[in-house]
Structure 1
Amino acid sequence: MARVMVVEDQSIVRQGIAMMLKAQGLEVVAEAENGKVAIEYLKTLSVDVIMMDIRMPEMNGLEATRIIHKQWPQTKIIILTTFNDDEYAVEALKEGACGYLLKTADSDKLVSAVKSCLKGGMPIQEEVTARVIPKLLYNAPKKEEAIQIPLTPRELDIAKCVGMGKTNKEIAQELFMSVGTVKNHITVILQKLEMRDRTQLAIYAVKNHIS
C-alpha cells in the first residue's frame, strides 16, 4: 500500500484530499500545512508519494519540491494546483515533481496519478496539458535547429515514450522489450545526458522535439 502525505495550507481542502485517498485504499501517513512542516515529517516518516500544493505560507511547494527531491529522491511528488499556478507548477516539474493535477480532480484521478508515479510515469491532467506543454517548450530550439542528441535510435524511441509520460511497463509493451531492459536503457540515457531522473528526461524530450 502506498504511503502518502498531503501538503496543503487550507485545512478543509487538505482533509478532503486525505479522505478521498483513504477511501480508495491508500495510506495517508501525514498531513502538512506547508513545505517546511512536510520536510520535518520526512525526517522521521517513510513516504512514497507527496500531494503538494504550490502556494503556501512559510515554504511554498516549489521550494519544498526542490529540497525534497534532492534529499529524498525516492519520494515522488505530485503537484496539486489551480490554473493560476501554471508557472509555479512547471518550475516544480523541472525541479523533480513527477505529476501535475488540478485540485478539482476526483479520487480516481488522484489514485491513478499515485500509481502512475510509483511505476515511473509522469501524470499530467488532461485539462491542463495544453497549458503546460507550451511553457515547457518556451525558448526550446526549433526542430530544424535542434541540437545533436547523443542517443541511439532505440534510446530515442524510449526517450520519446518517457516524454509522453509512459511508464516502463507501457514502454516495454510498445517497443516489445522487457521492463528490465527499458530500465537499463533509461539508466544509460540519463548517464549520457547527465540527468538525475526521468522527469528531467521527459522535459528534455519535449523541449528537443524528440519524436
Structure 2
Amino acid sequence: MKKIKILLIDDAHLIREALKYLLESEDNFLVVADTSDLLECENILKERRPDIILYHFNMNKELELEFLLKIIDQYPLIKILILYDSFHTWFLQHSVLHQRFSVYISTEEKFSEIKELIYRMWKGQSDIIVEGKFFDQSKIKVREEDQIKIQSLTKREMDILRNVALGMYNKEIALKFEISERTVKNHLSNIFKKISVSDRTQAAVFAIKNHLVNIYG
C-alpha cells in the first residue's frame, strides 16, 4: 500500500510531537512535515504535496478560516481533517467553513478514531459522518444556549465576569473599575441569573469553558 502523506499543523509543540509520534507509528502513514506556522504551509504544500492535512483548530480564528478556505480552493485534491477543541464547536458549526467542509473530530476522541478517519478520507470518502460524533447535537445545543446567555450580558457585566474568572475578589474588582463593592455584588447577582449559576466558582467555570478569558496569561 502507498504511504499516506500527512501534513500536521498544530501551534502546541507538545501536542504536535505526540501526534507526530502516533502517526509515524503506523506503517502506512508518512508525516511529510509538521509546523505551527501557517505561512510556512504555503511552501510545504507546493513542495511536498500531502494527501491529508491534520489541522488542530485553536489559533487565530479568522486567519485560520481564510487559510483553510484558500487550501480548499487551491488544492481541491488535498483532504483536510480538522481536530477541534470543545470550546470551538459553536464557532465552527456557524462558520462559512462548515458550509463547505464536513470532516471534523474532537480532541476528546481516541487516536484510533483519527486513524480511521485518515484512512477513510484517503480512500475518497469525503462525506464522512461517524456515528454522530461530529458536532454532537447535545453539545451544540448547550453551546448555543451559552452564547445567548453571553449576549445578554452588558459590557460591565462581561468585564466583571472575566475578572471573577481570573480570581479577583469583589474589593479588587471595585478598585479596578472605581465602583463600590455593593455595586460589584449587584452586578454579580445579575450575572448569576443571566448565565444560570449560583456562585462565583460556577461563573468562573462558565467563563473559562466558553473561552471568555485566557487563564494562562
TM range (shorter): 0.5 to 0.7
Q: Residue 128 and residue 53 in structure 1: after superposition, are their counterparts in 2 closer, same or farther (change >3 A)?
A: same
Q: Deviations over 1:84-105 (max 9, x none)?
A: 1113433375364451112233
- Could you tell me which runs of 5 or more consecutive residues in structure 1 were left unpaired when the two chains were aligned: 139-211
Partners of 2:52 and 2:79 within 8 A in 1 = yes
Q: Residue 95 and residue 118 in structure 1: after superposition, are their counterparts in 2 closer, same or farther (change >3 A)?
A: farther
Q: Residue 130 and residue 106 in structure 1: after superposition, are their counterparts in 2 closer, same or farther (change >3 A)?
A: closer
Match of 2:82 among 72, 79, 83: 79
- Could you tell me which runs of 5 or more consecutive residues in structure 2 were left unpaired when the two chains were aligned: 145-217
Q: Larger relative contact order (C-alpha < 8 A, sep ≥ 6)?
A: 1
Q: Normalization by structure 2: what TM-score?
A: 0.54
RMSD between superposed Cα atoms in Å: 2.9
Match of 1:32 among 30, 35, 48: 35
Corresponding residue for residue 130 of structure 1: 136
Q: Deviations over 1:49-79 (max 9, x none)?
A: 0011222259743222101111111000000
Deviates more, 1:2-11 or 1:116-125: 116-125
Q: Indicate whether 1:15 and 2:7 are aligned.
A: no
Q: Aligned AA for 2:68?
A: T
Match of 2:123 among 96, 100, 119: 119
Corresponding residue for residue 152 of structure 2: none
Q: Aligned AA for 1:69?
A: I
Residue pairs, 1:1-211, within 5 angstroms: 1-25=3-27, 26-57=29-60, 60-90=63-93, 91=95, 93-94=97-98, 96-121=100-125, 122-124=128-130, 126-131=132-137
Structure having the higher Rg: 2
- The alignment-based identity, stated in percent, is 18
The number of residue pairs the alignment matches comes to 136
Aligned-partner Cα distance in 2 for 1:27–1:69: 21
